[in-house]
Structures are given as structure tokens and as C-alpha cells.
Amino acid sequence: MWRRVASLSSSISSSFLAQTASRLNSWESLTTGIAQQAKGVIAPKEKTPFITFVLGGPGSGKGTQCIKIVETFGFAHLSAGDLLRREIASKSADGAMILNTIKEGKIVPSQVTVKLIQKEMELSDNHKFLIDGFPRTEENRVSFERIIGVEPNVVLFFDCPEEEMVKRVLNRNEGRVDDNLETIKKRLTVFQALSLPVINYYSEKGKLYTIKAIGTEDEIFEQVRPIFAAFEVCSVSAMILSIQLCCFFLLHFESENLTTALFLLNLFGIFVMFLI
């Protein structure tokens, strides 16, 4: 359904260069789609999804920050945990399996979680997604890319001390089946063992942004805001430049040369992605 945004990463292993390449890919997915239409891959009404993975241990505050990101930047929030709990509440066979897996502090099979995420993405009118609490393992990551067919544009990692996460979870009193000391300890152990490879992978790809998750909600959000604000600014700048050139070509080309003008416009749209 969606095409994979072309990778700009080079063979140079520098984290700065990797992050720069990642940002160029991300800006492309936030623009009006001129580059995609030039290639004839995406239908006019379709948009390349802008995907953000939100990672962090239980109690790291990622859910709270997702609410702020949604309110400020208009993302659709997909919580892997909420989707799994909804499936449990449905009393389905998958729901029973998920419940037992969570009680044991283990990871739910990747395909189950990815299919739930995929369904929500396909039903949404939005093209910007915050996927909260996923992927938690390398298997999760590989399954997502295989089934959904895209990679994330941004990966947020909320880095929080273990003692602070335990305190937050025990104090939130939400009545969740996994909000008890024994299960929390298991979940933190699993997170440390299985999620660090995912975090390291996206760090090497230049997509990882580490957020120090200590302080008030607003203080933490001030670390998050500039990340998405930068993408928004670049998207708007690219659209303005493209509109300006469109007006120029339409004013200076005769009607019989309109096809040539539109072709050049599309080329300019691609060029803008790499200039900003």
C-alpha cells in the first residue's frame, strides 16, 4: 500500500551523516508528494506515511509525551499496549494468549502486534503515526518492516532510571494487570535485554533521538518539540518553493509546452528535498 522511501544513507558510518540522510528521507514524506508523482508510484490522494517509533521502559513517560505530540503536531497515536489490551478485552483466542504472555512478562509474538498496528493504520485518515511501545525486539522490527513495508522516519527513546520507572508505574494506579512490582521487574529485565539492540540499530541508522525522561511533563516535551518542529519547517519550505516555481512555469510556458513545464516542476520538487 505504501512505497518505501528511498534510503539516503551512505557507506560512511558517521552518526551525523546517517542522521542527516535520515532527515532528508523524512522531509520527503512530509511534502506534497511531487517527487512521488514524478515517479508515478503513488496515486494523487495517497501520502507516504511519516512513522515515529516511541521506545522506553514501562513508566518512562512515553505515553504522556505522545499525547502532547498528537496535540501539537497532529499525529495519530497507536499504542501497542492499548491495542493488545483491547484484543484481550475482546475475549478472542489471540486475546487469551496475549493475556497469558503479558502476565509472564514476556513479549507478545511479533506478527500478532504488527497485524493490530497495520489494521489501525489502514483505517486511519492520517498519514503521520506515533507507534508507542513498539518495536521492543529485533524480531518486532524485522516483522514490522516486512509486513508494513516501510521503515520509521524517527525513533524516540525515553531514557529513564529504573527506580524512577518503578515508582511511576506503582503510583499510576490504572488497574492494569501488569502494574505490580513483580511483573514490572520482569518487564524491565526483558526491556533491557531485548530493546537495546533495537535502540542501537536505529542509532547507527541515524534515526534515534534520546530524550532524558526526568523532570516535569513540559520540561521533557521541550526536548521533543524541536525534533518534529524541524521536520515541519522543512516541509513547509519545500512546498512554498515548489508553489513558487509552479507559478513561474505556468506563466512563462506556452500551453503546448505545459507537459515540459510540469516535468521540470517535478524535477525541481525532487531537487528541493535535497537542498533544505
For residue 22, pLDDT beyond 70:
no
Q: How many residues are recorded in the chain?
A: 276
128 a known binding residue?
no
| pTM for the model | 0.67
pLDDT confidence tier of residue 74, bands split at 50, 70 and 90 = very high
Q: Tell me the domains of the chain and their CATH numbers.
A: 2-226 (3.40.50.300)
Q: How many CA atoms lie within 13 A of 249 on its CB side?
A: 20
Q: Which residues lie closer than 8 Å to 88 by C-beta, 6 or more apart?
A: 95, 96, 98, 99, 102
157 a known binding residue?
no
Grid cell, residue 158, equals 525515553
Q: What is the pLDDT of residues 180-235, one digit of tens each?
A: 788 888 888 888 888 999 999 999 999 999 999 999 999 999 999 999 998 875 55
| Least confident residue range of 71-80, 174-183, 257-266 | 257-266
pLDDT confidence tier of residue 14, bands split at 50, 70 and 90 = very low
63 a known binding residue?
yes
64 a known binding residue?
yes
176 a known binding residue?
yes
Mean pLDDT for the stretch of residues 146-151: 93
59 a known binding residue?
yes
Q: What percent of the chain has pLDDT over 90?
A: 49
140 a known binding residue?
yes
86 a known binding residue?
no
pLDDT confidence tier of residue 47, bands split at 50, 70 and 90 = confident
Q: What is the pLDDT of residues 154-166, one digit of tens each?
A: 999 999 999 999 9
pLDDT confidence tier of residue 81, bands split at 50, 70 and 90 = confident
Pairing of strands 76-79, 50-56: unpaired
Give the angle 113-115-121 at the CA atoms, nearest 5°. Answer: 105
pLDDT confidence tier of residue 6, bands split at 50, 70 and 90 = very low
133 a known binding residue?
yes
- Cell 501497542 sits on residue: 80
- Could you tell me if 203 and 15 are in contact, meaning their C-beta atoms sit under 8 angstroms apart? yes
81 a known binding residue?
no
Q: Which residues lie closer than 8 Å to 45 by C-beta, 6 or more apart?
A: none
Q: What is the pLDDT of residues 94-143, one digit of tens each?
A: 899 999 988 887 888 999 999 999 999 999 999 999 999 899 899 999 99
Per DSSP, which regions of the chain are E strands? 50-56, 76-79, 128-132, 154-159, 208-212
268 a known binding residue?
no
Query: To which H or E segment does residue 165 belong?
Result: helix 162-172
